[in-house]
Amino acid sequence: METTFINLAKNKTRNIPGIKGTGIAAAFSDAVRVDYSDHFTLYVSGKLATDSDGNIVGRTMAEQAERALQNIKEILEQQGAGMEHIVRTLIFVTQIDTQSLREIHEVRARFFKDGRFPASTLVRTSQLVRDGGLIEIEAEAVVPR
């Protein structure tokens, strides 16, 4: 078994409010890859709807869900995997209402094949680490060799 820590950040603080400009590093990886003989697993840290500079993009739940899933997809592809390899997601949202739920599921349906949806948990929280963030998504993937 071999473990690889994947860090794609442009800077150590990842422009996180509270540590930006302090020189203190954000103490997490974008993902952790664990290689086994016949497969590897990817544990993707929670992704927000951020651009490459760490700024929130999108104002609606649909726009932010789309960007968060796109950020996850980019990490998977960088590791030779795809969205079809995701077996579990954990989703944090700052609002749960009929419209938000509809938007989340409509976006997810574009990223995952019908009948092959990952196990998933949805949790409401009062706030995410970045102001304006509505959704954060973690993912776990199992990728055969």
Rounded distance, CA 55 to CA 49, Å?
8
pLDDT-flagged residues of the chain (< 50): none
Task: Look at residue 123 in the predicted model and tell me its pLDDT.
Answer: 97
pLDDT given at position 54: 84
Give the pLDDT of residue 2.
Answer: 96
Whole-number pLDDT of residue 127: 94
Question: What's the topology of domain 2-144?
Answer: 60s Ribosomal Protein L30; Chain: A; (3.30.1330)
Domain boundary assignment for the chain: 2-144
Say if CB 69 and CB 137 are below 8 A apart: yes
Residue 141 burial class via C-beta count within 10 angstroms: exposed 0-12, middle 13-18, buried 19 and up: buried
Structure confidence at residue 23 (pLDDT): 84
